[in-house]
Amino acid sequence: MSWTVYFFGYNGSTFGVLRRQNGANYWTPQTDWNGDKLDGTGESNMNLNTTLGNIYAIEFQWLGYGIIKFFVVNQYTGKLINVHTIEYPNTSLDPHIMSPNLPLMAEVRNTSNESNVKVETPCAIVHLEGNLNSAVTTTNAMFSNKTIVANVPTNMLTVRNKTLISGKTNRVPVELTLISNSSEGNRPV
């Protein structure tokens, strides 16, 4: 199963960005970023202090072979600074991502000693951009009209998320946003 997640964070005591794909980690330390390294020498003149609050953003083109960009908000202008770009198009047979529906997560692990480690976030957001009428976001309405025999359980609705679509593993969850029900007269439902 193919899966991908993107992170800002630490590997030991080194800060950087991570693309985790199919269980393999592709780590890029801050010193190797190909954008503004946020060490005070870049165009922003910003020196990133990761012990203080900052705003981080990750943007990716989800068609499987798109560009992945990592940003930090500029403390002087409030605008996003591109700190690192993974130029994925034309580099691999394997897509870097199979679905734009990634989980939002914060992760902390202490694998080397008994010291306490923590991760904090005051807020977070994940969203998709694009045409809401595309195949990514679909709304369907269903109608079921059945006569129910007294004391006999009767199926009115079944929702099934297919595991395969066109021979590919489905990684898109189904989200039920509304279910309503009615009956004739004053009969129990």
Number of domains making up the chain: 1
Q: How far apart are CA 153 and CA 128, in angstroms?
A: 40
Give residue 45's domain range.
Answer: 1-134
pTM given for the model: 0.68
pLDDT digits (tens, 9 = 90+) for 106-124: 777 888 888 887 777 777 7
pLDDT of residue 1: 45
Position 115 scores a pLDDT of 82
Residue 123, sorted as left (phi over 0), alpha (psi -120 to 50) or beta, turns out to be: beta
> Domain for residue 75, yes or no?
yes
Residue 130 lies in a domain: yes
Mean pLDDT of 19-36: 93
Q: Which residues of 45-72 are buried (b: 16+ CB within 10 A; e: fewer)?
A: ebebeeeeeeebebebebebbbebbbbb
Task: Classify residue 148: in a domain, yes or no.
Answer: no
Give the pLDDT score at 72: 97
In a domain, 129, yes or no: yes
Tens digit of each residue's pLDDT (9 = 90 or more) over 123-166: 777 776 665 555 444 445 555 666 777 778 777 777 777 888 77
* 41 occurs within a structural domain: yes
Question: Quick check: is 153 in a domain?
Answer: no
pLDDT (average), residues 13-41: 94
pLDDT for residue 187: 65
Q: Is 147 domain-assigned?
A: no
Residue-wise pLDDT tens digits, 36-95: 999 999 999 999 999 999 999 999 887 788 999 999 999 999 999 999 999 999 999 888
Residue 30 within a domain: yes
